[in-house]
Amino acid sequence: MRIETENLDNYRKSCREFLKREIVPDHQAWEENGLMERSFWEKLGKSGLLGISVSPEFGGQGKHDYRFAVILTEELIKAGVTVPGIVAHNDVVASYIFALGTGEQKKRWLPELCLGKRVAAIAMTEPGGGSNTADIKTVAERQGDYYVVNGSKAYITNGFNADLIVVAVKTDEGQQGQGISLLVIERDMPGFSRGEPLKKIGWNGSDTAELVFHDCKVPVTNLLGRENLGNYYFMSAMPRERLSISTVAVASAENILQHTLEYVKERKAFNQSIGSFQYNRFILAQLDTEVKIARIYLDNAIALFNQGLFSLVDAARIKLWTTELQMKVADRCLQLHGGMGYMRDSIAGKNWLNSRAQTIYGGTSEVLQEIISKSMGL
């Protein structure tokens, strides 16, 4: 146990030092440009921060304990670095390929993803639909050794930068929710284009774009897993994705609460610190209690995930709870900062803007409550 703790502590230290040295100085420029520099990904790869759970055989770090991924996320939050693009690349796409890819596909794609030489994205959401895969309209028709893909995807994280995109396509009408397959579409494939980076209200350092496929020819060898089982794969991978989002939520809530505590002790109003007013003290006491509960909840979920016991319903519950709490903490803390908190470049303001997306992607709070209520027999 002592060796295990030392390994985790050393990894946290290396993450913190790397981010402070290599990333933080450039991050403001990325937020202004709405795009992470390509060199950033290669720096991450060289530092061993990509492909955390991927086997060393394919260029990864072979760290299957999910706490290593958690540590990277926590340190990104503390450093004020945009998180979604890294989570999509690391926790989602690399995991999909490592779990579902053939030996040839893993050798072809994973080493460059782990080195940051190629950037990854996952594309499920479409302009006219959201969380329901049964509504997917992007179609892939098998023609000999190729699939011909037609359709579009919207709000795709890393969409502008991505070289490798796991795309959900309809390959069979079948029953509702079935007939979905996963194709890996690569940069410069004929018939694939993308729009300019979209202008979001938060997470501005992470590029987001629309993807368009017009008679896009994709080799059959780029089919990930088996045809028509895409929906099953999504359900299998969803717990990890939602646990990643929950990690961002708890780390963000802890970070802004700590920053706010420091602020209210220094900021004066009516000849006393604003933190000393009873109403403010009680608000902070409530937030502190709820955030600590969320941390215990998250740590338990991580332990279950490491044991293979973390279910789809477990993931729905923790994402619902932690992301809604993150929004609550962000809002209360901005209020305690007063006018300064409403400034776009303030820590409180940025945190508030970034928090808003958390209850939307990875399954909206409304969809999560549907999943939870159905598990209760309702």
pLDDT digits 0-9 by tens, 327-370: 999 999 999 999 999 998 899 999 999 999 999 999 999 999 99
Is 241 a residue of the active site?
A: yes
Q: Look at 1 and 258; give whichever has higher pLDDT.
A: 258
3-class DSSP state of 149: strand
**Are the beta carbons of 264 and 275 closer than 8 angstroms?**
yes
The domain limits of the chain are 6-119, 122-227, 231-376
Match 């409304």 to its residue by tokens. Answer: 366
The reply to whether the predicted model has a pTM over 0.85 is: yes
Look at residue 6 in the predicted model and tell me its pLDDT.
86
Under CATH, what is the fold of the domain 122-227? Butyryl-CoA Dehydrogenase, subunit A; domain 2 (2.40.110)
Query: DSSP E strands: which ranges in 53-157?
Result: 120-123, 139-143, 146-157
CATH architecture of 6-119: Orthogonal Bundle (1.10)
Q: Which CATH architecture has domain 231-376?
A: Up-down Bundle (1.20)
Identity of residue 234 = F
Q: What is the pLDDT of residue 103?
A: 96
Task: Confirm if 334 and 362 have CB atoms less than 8 A apart.
Answer: no
Q: What is the pLDDT of residues 197-215, one digit of tens each?
A: 899 999 998 899 999 999 9
Number of other residues whose CB lies within 10 A of the CB of residue 192: 20
Q: 92 near 167, Cβ under 8 Å?
A: no
The residue annotated as part of the active site, out of 75, 241, 254, 262, is: 241
